[in-house]
């Protein structure tokens, strides 16, 4: 039975409970962890992109006073051969990433040795004393030629193919042969860093007398890390605890298993002291996974009316040197090709190819909108090209193709149960006042000013669960649990398996529980994932928390509610079916004067057997799981206006209009914060951010002077419109939305830049659209000015 929800707090714009602590500087992050007797680790990392290690001399480092341990690849391999990464889909070839490089190094920054010393200075000095001899090998840097053969990037993948596969749904050749028009393009998404404000880090203690291991790690997936401590290293799982302190952003980067998280516990056991490692920014930019780099070839076949009859897509990922578990380098191109091509459109035929090349670069991992960002960029930017080819407005071409009836099963067999896909397009057109925009654009062009409007409509999968993770070939995401405990005074502790990187879960999960239990939000404390000794969870990834953790909280709170109702019925001498819980009181429906305080009901459950129904179990603590049986899809769109500076080539985002439909909103303020943050990250991806390797495979963007992230001066004004199409399959109709900003904004920004460039007869196809590229596109010769 669906939980009973009173909807007093769900939907309210409550301020974030967690901000009081975080904004007053009282947050406790990984670097704030202080353990008695703690010592520090530092890593020696490869200075070459690809080489055979011919010798490592650790003699001087080991002799340095204050050094407690120096480990190289062989020491680590004695405990663990390496982290095995793969995606369980057709054509994926697994890799094993050693904890410390053994025979080969395969990207600049790969860890070769680790030093533990009394302080970080000594550890770093000792690292400088370690001499590594290399036999340099040619680096593989370009994924497309790499897939054709030649030098190998990873000796475990003899032809550089980490992933290759695809599928055809319908007769694609015929559809393209018979097409009235074919439009096609190749889009390139640059290599990005998820760049959490707080870098990675971990600290561990090991007590040999009890075999208790404690690992503090700045992660989005503590339960998975704990599982891996046993699976890879053999620490007994019931003797391990993984603790996640306050976390300064993750954005997917901290949703991996990292070698460092395995090494630090081993070293704590080795030196019998607590060991701490805090990553520096350079390490973070070089080694903490990169994201989103893909080439996407895409083509549409269309009939004479602008109706698309087929889509053909080939997604090629530049995967880096290894699969980084659990999100392998294969997820990006697989998801782009197999999940995103038709989006909100009814395109009956699909020809889909995915491939990932191993290269001598940092492994590709997760960053907000894995696979969806590049797929949405290709689909939505080509849709604007199609609009130009058919001489239709960007709204009309989309309206002509958008799905109007639900449930809808697309060409690949993915079922979408509901959505406001057509309304999204209509609302965006209303918000931007399209005709007025075109008039303003024409007037400004006369004055030598170039503005453009870009549109992007998205569908976002959310609520990653067992069913979805198996469909995505992941197999590492399952259900979540929540524990709800009511104290004798009626206050409540909700513990969830979530970790929080800034999403405001302590507020939203309290809102959810409050509406089931009928008590004020202020009486609820939420513990989210600070320790794996609380409720079990699969991690904060894939916009799953509102749906999956929220579902678990709803179910567990509902079980407590049933107990309160049955005892309140005894106390009020009424039928349980007639009892309502709201505003801190239990009352008989329609008889407000009958009310008793829920706190008194709770106290009676603990202390007064006389009001217990027969056989009543007086526990007010319940743990329950939730695992959505099917994927949940939210949807929306962005329309972006940019102005290009003809002097500098800089594209300034003038305004963003967003439509968001994540079903029932728990907290619109938080939803809007998520949306704004994601869109600004999308503006960064579209215009500013790019990790650059030189021809030797050296990363040249290892500081924030070189890697340009958007700051407040780039953040535009927003106009946000909410649609609410609840899911029929999730408790309370909630759908997730945490990735939507970054999934769809880059396409809207590039479309806007290309709309502004249309009077020059040029378009850009690669992100980021840097000032140099924009200037080049604006110059008559098309060359960079």
List contacts with ligand MCN (CB under 6 A): 196, 249-252, 368, 462, 501-505, 508, 540-546, 662-667, 670-671, 674, 677, 734-739
User: In the complex with ligand MCN, which residue's Cβ is closer, 122 or 666?
Assistant: 666
The answer to whether 117 touches 40, Cβ cutoff 8 Å, is yes
Greatest alpha-carbon span in the chain? 90
CA angle at 728 for the pair 727 and 733, rounded to the nearest 5°: 45
Distance CA 752, CA 687 (A): 12
- From residue 205, give the alpha-carbon distance in Å to each of 199, 210, 271: 21, 12, 10
Residue 607: how many CB atoms within 10 A of its CB?
10
Per DSSP, 3 falls in state: P
Beta strands in 223-286 (DSSP E): 240-243, 275-278
Least CB distance from residue 732 to ligand MCN, whole Å? 9
The answer to whether 283 touches 45, Cβ cutoff 8 Å, is yes
Q: How many CA atoms lie less than 13 Å away from 171 in the CB half-sphere?
A: 5
Least CB distance from residue 461 to ligand MCN, whole Å? 11
Closest CA to 661 of 379, 507, 509, 458: 458
Q: Helices (H), strands (E): how many in the chain?
A: 21, 30
Closest CA to 676 of 721, 742, 725: 742
List helix spans (H) across 218-258: 222-233
Question: Strand 718-722 relative to strand 651-661: parallel, antiparallel, unpaired?
Answer: parallel
Distance CA 129, CA 89 (A): 44
Which residue sits closest to ligand MCN, CB atoms considered?
502
Distance CA 73, CA 113 (A): 7
Per DSSP, 609 falls in state: G
Chain center to CA of 258: 17
Phi, psi of 676 (to 5 degrees): -60, -45
Question: Strand 450-462 relative to strand 240-243: parallel, antiparallel, unpaired?
Answer: unpaired
Transcribe 551-590 into DSSP letters.
HHHHHHHHHHHHHHHHHHHHHHTS-GGGEEEETTEEEETT
As given in the structure block, the two tokens for residue 442 are 């024409």
Cis peptide bond N-terminal to 601, omega within 30: no
Transcribe 425-477 into DSSP letters.
HHHHHHHHTHHHHHHHHHHHHHTT-EEEEEEEEEEEEE---HHHHHHTT----
Residue 485 parent element (H or E): strand 480-486
The answer to whether 692 touches 382, Cβ cutoff 8 Å, is no
The answer to whether 529 touches 500, Cβ cutoff 8 Å, is yes
Residue 668: how many CB atoms within 10 A of its CB?
17
As given in the structure block, the two tokens for residue 394 are 């960007």
The answer to whether 350 touches 168, Cβ cutoff 8 Å, is yes
Q: How many CA atoms lie less than 13 Å away from 525 in the CB half-sphere?
A: 8
Phi, psi of 447 (to 5 degrees): -95, 10
Closest CA to 224 of 249, 248, 260, 255: 255
User: In the complex with ligand MCN, which residue's Cβ is closer, 193 or 756?
Assistant: 193
Residue 780: how many CB atoms within 10 A of its CB?
8
List helix spans (H) across 339-420: 372-390, 394-401
Beta strands in 249-394 (DSSP E): 275-278, 294-302, 308-318, 349-357
Least CB distance from residue 510 to ligand MCN, whole Å? 10
Residue 574: how many CB atoms within 10 A of its CB?
18
């Amino acid at each position: 039975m669906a939980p009973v929800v009173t909807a007093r707090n769900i939907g309210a714009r409550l301020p974030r409970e967690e901000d009081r602590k975080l904004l007053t500087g009282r947050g406790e992050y990984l670097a704030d962890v202080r353990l008695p007797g703690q010592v520090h680790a530092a890593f020696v990392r490869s200075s070459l992109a690809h080489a055979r290690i011919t010798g490592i001399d650790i003699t001087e480092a080991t002799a340095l006073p204050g050094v407690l341990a120096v480990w190289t690849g062989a020491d680590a391999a004695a405990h663990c051969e390496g982290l095995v990464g793969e995606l369980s889909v057709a054509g994926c070839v697994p890799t094993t990433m050693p904890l410390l490089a053994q025979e080969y190094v395969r990207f600049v920054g790969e860890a070769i040795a680790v030093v533990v010393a009394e302080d970080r200075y000594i550890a770093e000095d000792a690292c400088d004393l370690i001499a590594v001899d290399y036999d340099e090998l040619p680096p593989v840097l370009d994924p497309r030629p790499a897939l054709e053969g030649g030098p190998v990037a990873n000796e475990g993948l003899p032809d550089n193919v980490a992933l290759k596969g695809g599928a055809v749904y319908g007769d694609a050749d015929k559809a393209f042969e018979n097409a009235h028009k074919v439009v096609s393009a190749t889009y390139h998404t640059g290599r990005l860093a998820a760049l959490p404000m707080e870098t990675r880090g971990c600290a561990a203690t090991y007590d040999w007398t009890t075999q208790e291991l404690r690992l503090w790690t700045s992660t989005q997936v503590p339960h998975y890390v704990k599982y891996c401590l046993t699976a890879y290293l053999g620490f007994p799982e019931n003797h391990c605890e993984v603790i996640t302190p306050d976390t300064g952003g993750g954005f997917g980067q901290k949703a991996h298993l990292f070698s460092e998280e395995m090494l630090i516990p081993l070293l704590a056991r080795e030196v019998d002291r607590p060991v701490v490692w805090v990553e520096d920014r350079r390490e973070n930019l070089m080694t903490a996974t990169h994201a989103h780099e893909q080439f996407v070839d895409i083509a549409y076949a269309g009939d004479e009316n602008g109706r698309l009859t087929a889509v053909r897509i080939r997604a090629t990922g530049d995967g880096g040197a290894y699969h980084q578990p659990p999100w392998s380098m294969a997820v990006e191109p697989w998801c782009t090709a197999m999940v995103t091509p038709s989006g909100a459109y009814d395109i009956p035929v699909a020809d889909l190819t995915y491939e990932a090349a191993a290269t001598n670069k940092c492994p590709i991992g997760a960053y907000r909108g894995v696979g969806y960002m590049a797929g949405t960029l290709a689909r939505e930017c080509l849709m604007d090209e199609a609009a130009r080819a058919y001489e239709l407005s960007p709204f009309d071409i989309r309206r002509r193709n958008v799905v109007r009836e639900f449930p809808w099963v697309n060409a690949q067999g993915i079922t979408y149960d509901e959505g406001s896909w057509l309304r999204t397009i209509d609302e965006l057109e209303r918000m931007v006042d399209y005709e007025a925009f075109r008039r303003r654009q024409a007037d400004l062009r006369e004055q030598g000013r170039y503005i453009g409007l870009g549109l992007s409509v998205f569908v976002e999968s959310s609520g990653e669960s067992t069913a979805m993770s198996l469909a995505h070939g992941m197999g590492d995401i399952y259900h979540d649990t929540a524990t709800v405990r009511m104290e004798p005074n009626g206050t409540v502790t909700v513990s969830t398996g979530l970790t929080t990187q800034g999403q405001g879960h302590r507020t939203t999960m309290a809102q959810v529980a409050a509406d089931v239990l009928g008590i004020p939000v202020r009486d609820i404390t939420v513990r989210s994932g600070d320790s794996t000794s609380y409720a079990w969870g699969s991690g904060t990834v894939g916009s799953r928390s509102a749906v999956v953790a929220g579902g678990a909280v709803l179910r567990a709170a509902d079980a407590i509610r049933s107990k309160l109702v049955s005892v309140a019925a005894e106390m009020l001498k009424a039928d349980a079916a007639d009892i309502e819980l709201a505003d801190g009181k239990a009352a008989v429906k329609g008889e407000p004067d009958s009310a008793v305080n829920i706190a008194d009901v709770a106290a009676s459950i603990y202390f007064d057997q006389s009001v217990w129904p027969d056989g009543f179990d007086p526990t007010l603590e319940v743990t329950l799981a939730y695992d959505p049986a099917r994927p949940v899809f939210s949807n929306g769109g962005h329309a972006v206006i940019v102005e290009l500076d003809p002097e500098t080539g800089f594209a300034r985002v003038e305004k963003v209009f967003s439509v968001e439909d994540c079903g029932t909103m728990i907290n619109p303020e938080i939803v809007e914060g998520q949306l704004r943050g994601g869109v600004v990250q999308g503006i960064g991806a579209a215009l500013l951010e790019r990790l650059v390797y030189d021809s030797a495979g050296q990363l040249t963007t290892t500081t924030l002077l070189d890697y340009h992230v958007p700051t407040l001066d780039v953040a535009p004004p927003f106009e946000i419109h909410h649609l609410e199409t609840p899911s029929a399959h999730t408790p309370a109709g909630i759908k997730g939305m945490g990735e939507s900003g970054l999934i769809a904004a880059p396409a809207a920004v590039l479309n806007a830049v290309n709309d502004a460039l249309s009077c020059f007869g040029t378009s850009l196809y690669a992100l980021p659209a840097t000032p140099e590229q924009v200037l080049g596109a604006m110059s008559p010769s098309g060359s960079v000015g």
